[in-house]
Amino acid sequence: MMKKIVIVGGVAGGATAAARIRRLDENARIIVFERSGYVSYANCGLPYFIGGTIEDEEELTLQTPDGFFERFRIEAKVHHEVVSINREKRTVTVRDLEAGETFEESYDTLILSPGARPVVPPLEGVNDLLVFSLRTVEDTLKIHSFIEQNEPRSAVIVGGGFIGVELAENLNELGLKVTVVDMQPQLMNQLDGDMAAFIHSKMRAKGVELLLERGVSAFRSNGKTIETVLGEGESVTADMAVLAIGVSPDTKLAKDAGLELGLRGSILVNERMQTSDPDIYAVGDAVQVKHFVTGEPSLISLAGPANKQGRIAADNICGIESAFDGSQGSSVIKVFDLTAAATGINEKTAQSLGLNYDKVFLSPANHAGYYPGGKVMTMKVLFELGTDRLLGAQIVGFDGVDKRIDVIATAIRAGMKASELKLLDLAYAPPYSSAKDPVNMAGFMIENLNKGITKQFHWHEVGSLPRDGSVILLDVRTEGEYARGHIDGFINIPVDELRERIHELETCKKVYIMCQSALRSYIGYRILAQNGFDCLNLSGGYRLYQTVMQDKLAAEKAAHCGKED
């Protein structure tokens, strides 16, 4: 008997499910309803079309309705919105948005892949023609057309997540003066603040203004410019504004149909991607998932999990047992010439869950130091104390960031211990890596902490260290480095002179030791520890400390200037 499968939503999870079902069942009738004018399009590529990196709008669509039918005999109907579900009759009510007609379509199995909607707060002026949002191809073409026709010189972006940061870069590259406004104290909330500081520094260096910890109260337009009104009388006037606050699960259909809902109104599914109705499956940004690391209910709006879920739903519909065991939120973003990536949980999440954790920072080069062109990346790896469980990682740098985050993501998925990163047998040649890969180095550092070979302190503890002589604050960088900038209260003895000058230090005092990246200070730590000193090493070194402090100063300056204006 021929199955009839109806799919609501033809992007990511929905398109993947449709193609997978056809590969498994040549006889099924598959109908996809998509309310926009496009199916199987690349949401993640939309900012790059606006910026001109992607020049042809056809490149944004991986498949067309005609192409879907020609290759897979899938009936993909665009500009068709499913407005209700009748679970008893097993039908959906569909509105043809072009013809203005409504009809019913029956199903044997229904897949919901409605995605998420941009968050649009009910603010004064939010519907003005100079205020845009970015989620669909139509949104992209609208912004692209506005820029071509009006040649704006400035833009305000409200929201500092993936879309906001990518759009800021692309508009900046077009020559616009860009201001990013966000209620949070940082951009890119998948990162911790100390890692986001590197993103802030890069964006400010490129001329992007960051107004953080600011909420938007209204938009006011004179027809030519748009004023984004912030708190305390502050405002920013620009030629256009874009809302990129975030997204929320688009689950009205599911709610109206009486399906069980979860976090923030998302659709509850089991590991087979089945909803509370066994004939209805749901995938993508609209569903609640289990976080792979914490086991907690989560909403993770990423293309990778959505595509996997579409395949899993299709497998189960076609009689193949398949299960989704959670998402760990692995992500990567380009920020001008920087790359930022994350997997697992960050420190903020570990704290909120009350986990007993520790972290290491390291600043390795992307390839062998003797091979030309090497660039430093900053890595932060979290692990659980006692169990040595890998919790997550964040990396900001240049070449090779994506490779390392994928290795750590794989290690988390495989259940490896944090110190076992040292054992990974990773490819090495001078242009690509070092014999001791940065991921191996993280494992070595974690092992040293676990075995008590080293102890550490962190950048946020520096300010509270006593400066009364009761402890020794020691900087083991070169005299030149120290002269170019150092932390108040730290004395300078270069590591290569430390053995000869160890008599200058009092053994009875605890030593807080630092260098540029924490590597030379680790060497100094071991020299001192074996001579009877109680030491702690500054994790991440002066490089991390300086970046975070400069970021805080820049944020305070922006806040002060805003109030003066």
Tell me the catalytic residues. Answer: 44
Residues in the chain: 565
- Which amino acid is it at 186? Q
Is residue 267 within 8 Å of 282, Cβ to Cβ?
yes
Is residue 136 within 8 Å of 244, Cβ to Cβ?
no
Closest CA to 423 of 449, 404, 441: 441
Please state the φ and ψ torsions of residue 265, each to the nearest 5 degrees: 75, 15
User: Distance (Å, rounded) from C-alpha 139 to C-alpha 150?
Assistant: 16
Please state the φ and ψ torsions of residue 430, each to the nearest 5 degrees: -50, -35
Is residue 144 within 8 Å of 134, Cβ to Cβ?
no
Residues 6+ apart with CB under 8 A from 252: none
Handedness of CA 544, 545, 548, 554 (dihedral sign): negative
Residues 6+ apart with CB under 8 A from 173: 51, 52
What are the counts of helices (DSSP H) followed by strands (DSSP E) for the chain?
A: 15, 30
Outline where DSSP puts E strands in 345-385. Answer: 357-362, 378-384
Return the number of other C-beta atoms located less than 10 Å from residue 478's C-beta: 17
HEC assignment per residue over 66-97:
HHHHHHHCCEEEECEEEEEEECCCCEEEEEEC
Closest CA to 71 of 35, 23, 24, 34: 23
User: Distance (Å, rounded) from C-alpha 236 to C-alpha 179?
Assistant: 8
Handedness of CA 262, 265, 266, 267 (dihedral sign): positive
Rg (CA), the chain: 27
Please state the φ and ψ torsions of residue 479, each to the nearest 5 degrees: -60, -40
SS3 7: strand
Cα angle 18-21-24, degrees, rounded to a multiple of 5: 155
User: Distance (Å, rounded) from C-alpha 254 to C-alpha 316?
Assistant: 20
User: Can you state the angle between helices 13-24 and 65-72, rounded to 10 degrees?
Assistant: 20
SS3 227: strand
